């Protein structure tokens, strides 16, 4: 994406390598889904079973011990970045236009 005169720097940095709204939405939803996947399952949510038929993985496989996180930093960071992408997409929708597709 090329920087326009009225575009804030935070929008340009957020979507600098994205040229279409579809690509920006894919980036947003991927980041949001990764944030959901990073929610820790061990000390923060002790009621959530990690093995057996009530397991998050539907009893197919237990959640490995390496997946149990000690804090919420990754989830928090990815949700903040997803919010940034959403705000960038919203700014482009309201104040500018997406680059047309090459024909």
> Which residue do the tokens 């960038």 mark?
88
| Residue 28 · residue 82 · CB < 8 Å | yes
The mean of the pLDDT values for the chain is 75
Instruction: Compute the distance between CA of residue 75 and CA of residue 78 in angstroms, rounded to an integer.
Output: 5
pTM to 2 decimals?
Answer: 0.69
User: Where on the phi/psi map is residue 52: left (φ > 0), alpha (ψ -120 to 50), or beta?
Assistant: left
Query: What is the tens place of the pLDDT at every residue in 73-102?
Result: 777 888 999 999 999 999 999 988 787 766
Q: What percent of the chain has pLDDT over 70?
A: 63
């Amino acid at each position: 994406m090329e920087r326009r005169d009225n575009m804030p720097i935070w929008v340009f940095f957020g979507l600098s390598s994205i040229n279409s709204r579809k690509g920006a939405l894919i980036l947003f939803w991927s980041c949001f889904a990764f944030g959901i996947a990073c929610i820790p399952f061990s000390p923060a949510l002790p009621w959530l079973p990690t093995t057996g038929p009530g397991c998050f993985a539907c009893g197919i496989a237990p959640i490995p011990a390496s997946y149990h996180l000690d804090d919420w930093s990754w989830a928090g960071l990815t949700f903040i970045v997803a919010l940034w992408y959403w705000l960038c997409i919203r700014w482009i929708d309201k104040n500018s236009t997406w680059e047309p597709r090459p024909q």
